[in-house]
């Protein structure tokens, strides 16, 4: 039996980033992964979806060029080449992880971990013991109980990127972030796309004003959005709805969220939360079993790659006697990578008021910014949520080009315990989109 200071189950963002941190702290480290290194994010989520969305941005740029004095023609969309490029990107990043493991002396074990006892696991007939164990086993697509669904072929977020032929008609059950991003990408490629959502609206986790802009953009592109949908059944080639007739498709994507992989935690007898959905951990991500930790999808919160990575780092630092405060949910940026991009962090105005803050909210549109006007990218806004007494930064929302990158300027000040004053008094280069952040901050100072 081989022994390691840190044994990690799962090589997704929560696992492989934690492994590197653990090794750099001087631990002997092994990582067990039954699928491909990089987990959901790298192989079937964040990275492949962004590869496809980049084509959407390029095609949108072509439309802008044709509307503003340049004539550009796209002769065809070679989808097999798109898929090939996506696969190459994934392969390149997988190789990067393996190189990092090798550089840091991290032992990578390919195979499924079977729990034996204590902190011992078996893989392919070999047993491994971890003085400390980190569970980062992620999740799998949640499939709702829809009549007829099991009788037909359909795609999940795990199999979507296996598709090698562009669909003519794509129906998507689920209007969350993943469903909307893939709807946008496929519409750009020329597919007829319908989003079917049972909730009162799509993107319920997204700021209300941002959501309105996104919905208007999707509809302007011809994406059909059906909310409050009641699915009677799914048949071959169509989704039958109560009150909305039938939605035809030649490909159906079920994007209704994810469920946690709890097989190993249950086998270990780890304590779960009251609803038996997530592994219960303390502020250092330690489970009910001493020296066994859990992060990412397993423990709830934001099921985002960067959240899992941050938690994984905190967990292995705690194992090494370097305990730190846990990752705050208010410090996690939440992006939506369509056009315009959306990104936000922290509290909403409503949340802040419920917590008793004397809230100040200011917003500046991209249409007020010289760089945005010159770039013909005036759709969107910068919003900062603050409070009157100390002008603390409670949250922010950016809708517009490069929002997912711009949000970090505000987030970094928030993390450094800075205030709106620092944003207002920083010298921003002109002309830049970032000036909108300063302009919004200055508006807040006028409330003094």
Query: pLDDT tens digits for 308-326?
Result: 999 999 999 999 999 999 9
Across all residues in the chain, what is the average pLDDT? Answer: 97
Residue 376 has pLDDT above 90, yes or no: yes
**Mean pLDDT, range 109-127, rounded to an integer:** 97
The pTM of this model reads 0.95
What pLDDT sits at residue 243? Answer: 83
Exposed / middle / buried, residue 54 (Cβ in 10 Å: 0-12, 13-18, 19+): middle
HSE value, Cβ hemisphere, 13 Å, CA-based, for 81: 5
User: What is the CATH number assigned to the segment(s) 149-256?
Assistant: 3.50.50.60
**Mean pLDDT, range 413-440, rounded to an integer:** 97
For the chain, percent of residues with pLDDT exceeding 70: 100
Distances (CA, A) of 70 to 66, 132, 174, 378: 5, 60, 38, 20
Fill in the DSSP letter of residue 126.
E
Tell me how crowded residue 130 is: count the other CB atoms within 10 A of its CB: 26
Query: pLDDT tens digits for 257-304?
Result: 999 999 999 999 999 999 999 999 999 999 999 999 999 999 999 999
* Nearest CA among 31, 15, 219 for reference residue 108: 31
CATH fold of 2-141+259-329 reads: FAD/NAD(P)-binding domain (3.50.50)
Please check whether residue 329 is in contact with residue 344, taking contact to mean a CB–CB distance below 8 angstroms.
no
Please check whether residue 436 is in contact with residue 384, taking contact to mean a CB–CB distance below 8 angstroms.
no
* Nearest CA among 350, 294, 302, 355 for reference residue 329: 302
Q: Where along the chain do its domains lie?
A: 2-141+259-329, 149-256, 340-445
**Mean pLDDT, range 414-442, rounded to an integer:** 97
What pLDDT sits at residue 407? Answer: 98
Of the residues 244, 414, 430, 447, only one is catalytic, namely 430
**Mean pLDDT, range 75-89, rounded to an integer:** 95
What CA–CA distance (Å, rounded) separates 293 from 137? 11
H helix or E strand, kind and range, residue 421? helix 420-425
pLDDT band of residue 144 (cuts 50, 70, 90) is very high
Residue 78 has pLDDT above 90, yes or no: yes
| Alpha-carbon radius of gyration of the chain | 23
Distances (CA, A) of 48 to 53, 102, 158, 178: 9, 25, 11, 12
**Mean pLDDT, range 407-424, rounded to an integer:** 97
The CATH architecture one would assign to domain 340-445 is 2-Layer Sandwich (3.30)
In this chain, the answer to whether the domains covering 2-141+259-329 and 149-256 adopt an identical fold is yes
Please check whether residue 313 is in contact with residue 6, taking contact to mean a CB–CB distance below 8 angstroms.
no
Residue 15 has pLDDT above 90, yes or no: yes
* Nearest CA among 345, 357, 354 for reference residue 404: 345
What pLDDT sits at residue 332? Answer: 98
Residue 448 has pLDDT above 80, yes or no: no
Residue 366 has pLDDT above 90, yes or no: yes
Active site residue 430: yes
Residue 244 has pLDDT above 80, yes or no: no
Query: pLDDT tens digits for 337-350?
Result: 999 999 999 999 99
**Mean pLDDT, range 336-365, rounded to an integer:** 97
What CA–CA distance (Å, rounded) separates 197 from 176? 8
What pLDDT sits at residue 175? Answer: 97
């Amino acid at each position: 039996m081989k022994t390691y200071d840190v044994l990690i189950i799962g090589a997704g963002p929560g696992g492989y980033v934690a492994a590197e941190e653990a090794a750099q702290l001087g631990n002997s480290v092994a990582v067990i992964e039954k699928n491909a290194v990089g987990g959901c994010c790298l192989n079937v989520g964040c990275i492949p979806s962004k590869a496809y969305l980049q084509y959407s941005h390029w095609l949108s740029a072509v439309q802008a060029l044709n509307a503003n004095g340049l004539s550009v023609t796209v002769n065809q969309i070679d989808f097999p080449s798109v898929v090939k490029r996506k696969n190459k990107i994934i392969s390149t990043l997988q190789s990067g992880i393996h190189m990092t493991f090798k550089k840091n002396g991290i032992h990578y074990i390919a195979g499924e971990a079977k729990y034996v006892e204590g902190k011992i696991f078996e893989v392919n007939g070999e047993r491994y013991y971890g003085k400390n164990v980190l569970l980062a086993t992620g999740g799998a697509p949640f499939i709702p109980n829809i009549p007829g669904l099991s009788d037909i072929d359909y795609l999940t977020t795990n199999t979507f990127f296996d598709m090698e032929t562009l669909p003519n008609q794509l129906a998507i059950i689920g209007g969350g972030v993943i469903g909307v991003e893939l709807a946008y990408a496929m519409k750009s490629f020329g597919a007829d796309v319908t989003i079917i959502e049972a909730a009162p609206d799509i993107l319920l986790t997204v700021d209300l004003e941002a959501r309105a802009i996104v919905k208007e953009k999707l509809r302007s592109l011809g994406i059909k959005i059906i909310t409050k949908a009641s699915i009677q059944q799914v048949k071959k080639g169509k989704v039958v709805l109560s009150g909305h007739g039938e939605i035809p498709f030649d490909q159906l994507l079920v994007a209704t969220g994810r469920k946690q992989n709890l097989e190993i935690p249950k086998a270990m007898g780890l304590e779960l939360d009251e609803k038996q959905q997530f592994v219960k951990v303390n502020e250092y991500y330690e489970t009910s079993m001493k020296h066994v930790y859990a992060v990412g999808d397993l423990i709830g919160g934001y099921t985002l790659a960067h959240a899992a990575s941050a938690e994984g780092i905190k967990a292995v630092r705690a194992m090494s006697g370097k305990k730190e405060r846990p990752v705050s949910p208010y410090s996690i940026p939440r992006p939506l990578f369509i056009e315009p991009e959306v990104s936000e962090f922290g509290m909403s105005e409503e949340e802040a008021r419920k917590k008793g803050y004397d809230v100040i909210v200011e917003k500046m549109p991209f249409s007020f910014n010289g760089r945005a006007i010159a770039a013909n990218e005036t759709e969107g806004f910068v919003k900062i949520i603050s409070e009157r007494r100390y002008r603390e930064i409670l949250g922010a929302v950016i809708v517009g080009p490069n929002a997912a990158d711009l949000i970090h300027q505000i987030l970094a000040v928030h993390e450094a315990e800075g205030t709106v004053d620092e944003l207002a008094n920083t010298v921003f280069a002109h002309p830049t989109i970032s000036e909108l952040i300063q302009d919004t901050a200055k508006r807040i100072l006028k409330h003094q």
